[in-house]
């Protein structure tokens, strides 16, 4: 059975997903294949400025607001994943297209070689990963909703507002989910 690739699409956690790693998160899928899936959580900003990470070197100066490291997920939190937004018409070696202008960046590459083509970057500590069939099962059991993203979602300047914003723009009943309280017992 062929697996339809969800690469470049958004996973939006439903209120029923109570795993603290993913509660009320929006995940951008960077890869989705028969063997599994990998993505980064877009709406978990830390307070650590990217300029404090020596390993990022000159990439740190290209960080989009807020200029902090994001918690990309619970897998390998010591690993860094960098996304970039490429300007219209910009073609760059050393990056991999995810969706539209959103690309993943090879951090060891020299940022000066892509200076004119990139509008901004966002750095993630760790990632979210699923084994073969695991993500499909979680979607089927109602943990995740799958939507097309907008080019600005991966670089949204107010990450805490991303989860309700993505739900509201779906309209109808899905828009109402954006107002679901995090703890219904307090309602």
| Sequence ranges of the domains in the chain | 10-186
> Distance (Å, rounded) from C-alpha 10 to C-alpha 6?
8
- The C-alpha atoms of residue 95 and residue 82 are separated, in whole angstroms, by 10
**68 with 100: CB under 8 angstroms?**
no
* Torsion 3-80-49-72 (CA) sign: positive
Q: Three-state DSSP class for 143?
A: coil
pLDDT tens per residue across span 39-82: 999 999 999 999 988 878 788 888 889 999 999 999 999 999 99
Percent helix, percent strand, percent coil in the chain, to nearest 5? 25, 35, 40
The CATH number of domain 10-186, selected from 3.40.50.720, 3.40.1740.10, 3.40.1350.10, 2.60.40.10: 3.40.1740.10
Judged against a pLDDT cut of 70, whether residue 2 lies above it is answered with: no
Mean pLDDT rounded to a whole number for the chain: 89
Distance CA 80, CA 165 (A): 26
Question: The pTM is what?
Answer: 0.92
């Amino acid at each position: 059975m062929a697996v339809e690739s969800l690469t470049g699409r958004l996973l939006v956690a439903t209120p029923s997903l109570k795993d603290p790693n993913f509660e009320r998160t929006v995940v951008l899928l960077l890869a989705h294949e028969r063997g599994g899936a990998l993505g980064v959580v877009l709406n978990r900003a830390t307070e650590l400025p990217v300029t404090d990470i020596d390993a990022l070197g000159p990439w740190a100066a290209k960080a989009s607001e807020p200029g902090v490291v994001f918690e990309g997920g619970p897998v390998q939190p010591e690993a860094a994943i960098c996304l970039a937004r490429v300007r219209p018409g910009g073609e760059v070696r050393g990056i991999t297209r995810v969706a539209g202008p959103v690309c993943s960046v090879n951090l060891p590459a020299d940022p000066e070689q892509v200076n004119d083509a990139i509008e901004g970057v966002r750095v993630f500590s760790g990632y979210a990963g699923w084994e073969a069939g695991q993500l499909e099962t979680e979607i089927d059991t109602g943990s995740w909703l799958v939507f097309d993203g907008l080019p600005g979602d991966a670089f949204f300047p107010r990450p805490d507002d991303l989860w309700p914003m993505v739900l509201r723009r779906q309209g109808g009943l899905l828009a109402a989910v954006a107002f679901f309280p995090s703890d219904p017992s307090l309602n």
